[in-house]
A = this chain, B = another copy of it.
Amino acid sequence: MKTMSTEQRTLRADARRNRERIISSGRELFARDGPEAQMDEIAARAGVGIGTVYRHFPTKEALLTAMVRDRFQEFAEIATLAEETADAREALETVMLRSAEAVEGDVGFQLAMMGSNQLEWDGIEEQKAVLAKVVTRIIRRAVDAGAVRDDFTFEDFGMVMCGTTSTMYYKPGSGDWRRHLELTLHGVSVPLSVAR
């Protein structure tokens, strides 16, 4: 009796191998070309036929979704890790910086993130919920420590990350997004009364 961890039943050995290859080649190409990446090419780079790709992922969007889900998973891990940081403000800074770094150079995900409210990605909600929980804790801690504006929320966090991402997309390769993030953090980390 297999536990069928997520849904992959007793996949034949070679099949599993191919699946991995497809995912990794998909990640590469979506990273480079965004959603424009072509199924043909993904298959080719994975060294399999198109049919095989479709055996594993019924549709292009399914493949895309799988990668996005992975990324959110990664975010949740990053956040969890960052939460261990002793300094409250640094913890928040770390999540943001590390998350952004994780996405650098992944055009596909950048677009996905910026437009993620438009499409309804399948099983992303779950991962998103975990992320939200952890990040909310981090924010709360930072607020309590007086390290950031006390009206800063998880929603804001999302917006701001989105903004940083847009700079990544807009000026790929230049590290300008760091500047953008820095500006933003600067604003966030100052009590309301000081400005103006």
Given A114-B114, A163-B166, A167-B163, decide whether A183 and B188 contact each other with a Cβ distance below 8 A: yes
The residue on B at minimum CB distance from A185 is: B187
A180 within 8 A of B: yes
The residue on B at minimum CB distance from A166 is: B166
Q: Interface residues of A: mostly helix, strand, loop or mixed?
A: helix
Number of copies: 2
CA gap between A105 and B152 in the complex, in Å: 26
CA gap between A86 and B89 in the complex, in Å: 37
Given B160, B180, B186, B194, which contacts A159 in the complex, CB threshold below 8 Å? B180
A16 within 8 A of B: no
Given B156, B179, B195, which contacts A190 in the complex, CB threshold below 8 Å? B195
Most B CB atoms within 10 A — which of A156, A170, A180? A170
A10 within 8 A of B: no
| Structural contact, A183 and B190, CB atoms closer than 8 A | no
| Structural contact, B170 and A114, CB atoms closer than 8 A | yes
Interface residues of A in 122-165 (CB under 8 A from B): 149, 155-156, 159-160, 162-165
A116 within 8 A of B: yes
Band of interface residues on A: 20 to 34
> Which residues of B are found within 8 Å of A195, using beta-carbon distances?
186, 189-190
| Structural contact, A166 and B162, CB atoms closer than 8 A | yes
Q: Taking beta carbons and an 8 Å cutoff, which residues of A are in contact with B?
A: 89, 114-117, 149, 155-156, 159-160, 162-167, 169-171, 176, 179-180, 183-190, 192, 194-196
Which 9 pairs show the lowest CB-CB distances between chains A and B? A187-B187, A163-B163, A166-B166, A186-B187, A159-B180, A186-B195, A162-B166, A159-B167, A190-B195
